[in-house]
Amino acid sequence: MIPSSSSTSVLFFLLLLTSATAGGAVGNHSFEFDFLAFAIRNFTLLGDSYLRNGVVGLTRDVTVPTSSAGTVIYNDPIPFSDPESAPPSAASFSTRFTFSIGNVNPSSFGDGLAFFLSRDNETLGSPGGYLGLVNASRLTKNKFVAVEFDTRVDSHFGDPSENHVGFDIDSLISIKTADPLLQGIDLKSGEQITAWVEYDHVAKVLDVFLSFSISKPEIPLLSVDVDLSDNLKGNVYVGFSGSTEGSTELHSVHSWSFNMTGEGSLLRPRSTNPPHNVSDNSIVIPSPEIPSSDSGSKNHKKLGLGLGIAGPSFFCACLVIFGYISVKKWQRTRGSSTTTGKTELVVASGRPKEFNYREVKSATRGFHSSRIIGKGAFGNVYKAFFVSTGTIAAVKRSRHSHEEGKEEFLAELTIIAGLRHKNLVQLLGWCVEKGELLLVYELMPHGSLDKALHHPHDGGVLSWTQRRNVAVGLASALTYLHQECEQQVIHRDIKSSNVMLDANFNARLGDFGLARLMDHDKSPVSTLTAGTMGYLAPEYLHYGKATEKTDVFSYGVVLLEVACGRRPIEREPESQGMVNLVDWVWGLYGEGRVVEAADDRLKGQFETEEMKKMLMVGLSCANPDGGERPTMRRVLQMLNGEVEVKVLAKSKPTLTFSCGLSLSLEDITSDCE
């Protein structure tokens, strides 16, 4: 409930706002929106772009080099000018957005992303140096104005360096470029970067500012003298595009605001409700003219009339501002109480503790870069030493702001806080303070399974015994999550980098940021696809339904990864073609040579029948037909020799999906929003 005083303020504010719109002229024509997090109903996603936890990814999130291009466009066109006016009127605009360019392999960079304005809403170009803006076969097809953030030198477009910002019109040969390193900004740092793009149609100048903070610098990085009147005519769409070519570079847009002002912003009344988060001052009523007169008495009347209008108007404006502040204050209070209420539920369980921010900051030496032991989509992980208890821990720090990352943070906090299993990473505590979202975990001395398999420390390779323990431990954890918890937990992001190894090389499943709770007797939840390519079940990619069987598929891929020492998708050295691990192992199985898939680094030091069993269980779990996959309890029984492994078809099954089972927009958005 809203407190009575706040309710009165809100009601009064709405009444004043209604009367002001209906009874007077709107002094400034404007169009604006502000998204702290993205929602699917407001945007069109093209190509390889995707939406995950309120953040837009423009290119594929994969661990092997690939070529990819994606675009996200705001659904509604923006009326930059009235085509019926002579000459056409113009408009100024400003936009602020936060983006990041990360990489799982720092040596594999390119190509970058761009903010653009275009006449059409189907802008999707080619991957590589074309930045998803230009079609390689039809270079003049797409018409646009763009600011590019380029991370690779492409001599074809005259790029000055592998770290530059450029301004483009209808071509990727930039009109003008600038080096962000001059202001200490590396586009490929993986950190969140805030950009401001501002165009003044009167001064005919476009400025670009960059910063690692939310404070806009005083001096622009790039300033271009340009008249965009011919480019911004009529309705214009705005959005972002990004691309890679033979790279694992990740391009993400975290937040976005846009504002347009000026004579060109002639918004007309709409018959439908305005889109979410959009301010639409669409009613323009001309003020009546007062006839002029030389008479002194009439001048006094004019003065009195002016004061009579200005006085109440000023008073109403003050009340509107007061009402607006009251509403915002109530919203912040409600958001704070919601977060507090949820975290209090966690504390009530008596398990994880609430850490003091100063304590966590001190334990990580002020979140010093030398303490970083891992990076992910959520943020960085720091090694922490708490002097008061002598505890060494891992602190997971959100890269999002308090509001942006709150949903994922609370998901992980509320789910894992109520779980207890020897093969789950233990949550020690949490901290929500100073705008930070922090989770404190027990430290895993041997890091992730991914690093142990593919980047072994000091040349040490996991032994067969250690690998078998990892397989059994992970199966035990998933059996607990799927069938032994009060509410079933669907993890949705099982992969080797989310499996940690403790001091004895036992598997500990972590990272519950994408997990979902379900009642055991309920139908699967329809969601936007989340996770990592190579580990995702085919039906999950197609329908977006996360079930325990989609977790089983991901486990099967991890099991094959453990046995073979190969990534889910790898580039073949000889042919340079991409090889899918499940396809490769199934092919060897069909030829009766499945044990040949074993990791060569083991040098044959394993039990042949046990290796064969692990590979067969992995294939059973990674069966394209979800109905044929075993439960995790059955998997555990097979690995422990309690039941026989089911015989598989010699060739990998193929599936045909029915278009009649597609999800509605409401189904897709129900979970992510």
In this structure, the answer to whether residues 428 and 477 fall within a common structural domain is no
Same domain assignment for residues 122 and 187: yes
Say what the pLDDT of residue 459 is: 56
Is 326 among the domain residues?
no
Residue 498 belongs to some domain of the structure: yes
Q: Does residue 224 belong to any structural domain of this protein? A: yes
pLDDT digits (tens, 9 = 90+) for 604-641: 999 999 999 999 999 999 999 988 999 999 999 999 99
SS3 call for 445:
coil
Note whether residue 294 is domain-resident.
no
Dist CA 138 CA 124 (whole Å): 12
Residue 497, domain CATH: 1.10.510.10
For residues 545-572, give the mean pLDDT.
92
Q: Say if residue 221 is in the same domain as residue 80.
A: yes
Q: What range does the domain containing 83 cover?
A: 29-280
Q: Which of the listed residues 416, 442, 468 is the one where a domain comes to its end?
A: 442
Give the chain's domain count.
3
Q: Does residue 51 sit in the same domain as residue 118?
A: yes
- The lowest-confidence range among 95-99, 325-329, 627-631 is 325-329
| 451 known member of a binding site | no
**Tens digits of residue pLDDT in 641-666:** 999 998 899 999 887 554 433 333 33
What pLDDT score does 365 carry? 93
Domain boundary among 391, 421, 442: 442
Do both 405 and 479 map to the same domain? no
- The predicted model scores a pTM of 0.49
Would you tell me how many other CB atoms lie within 10 Å of the CB of residue 158?
A: 12
CB 44 within 8 A of CB 72: yes
Residue 318 falls within a domain, yes or no?
no
Share of the chain above pLDDT 90, in %: 38
Would you say residue 400 has pLDDT above 70? no
d(CA 166, CA 152): 12
Q: Which two tokens stand for residue 328?
A: 């915002």
| DSSP state string for 461-523 | ---HHHHHHHHHHHHHHHHIIIIISSSEEE-S---GGGEEE-TT--EEE---TT-EEE-TTSP
Average predicted confidence (pLDDT) for the chain: 77
- In this structure, is residue 397 part of a structural domain? yes
Radius of gyration over every alpha carbon of the chain, rounded to an integer in angstroms:
29
Which residues are identified as catalytic?
493
Together in a domain, 527 and 588: yes
Residue 10 has pLDDT above 70, yes or no: no
Residue 257 clears pLDDT 90, i.e. is over it: yes
Q: How far is CA 608 from the centre of its chain?
A: 43
654 belongs to a structural domain: yes
Q: Are residues 551 and 589 in the same domain?
A: yes
The closest of 67, 92, 101, 94 to 180, measured between CA atoms, is: 101
Residue 11 lies in a domain: no
Phi/psi-derived region of residue 158, left when phi > 0, alpha when psi is between -120 and 50, beta in every other case: left
Of 530, 474, 528, 529, which Cα lies nearest the Cα of 505?
474
Q: Are residues 257 and 182 in the same domain?
A: yes
CATH number, position 196: 2.60.120.200
Residues 93, 108, single domain; the answer is yes
Which pLDDT score, from 0 to 100, does residue 82 have?
Answer: 59
For 102-114, what is the mean pLDDT? 84
Does 560 lie in the same domain as 430?
Answer: no
What is the pLDDT averaged over residues 525-546? 70
Q: Are residues 237 and 185 in the same domain?
A: yes
Q: Which residues pair with 239 in a beta bridge?
A: 73, 116
Q: Of 280, 309, 341, at which residue does a domain stop?
A: 280
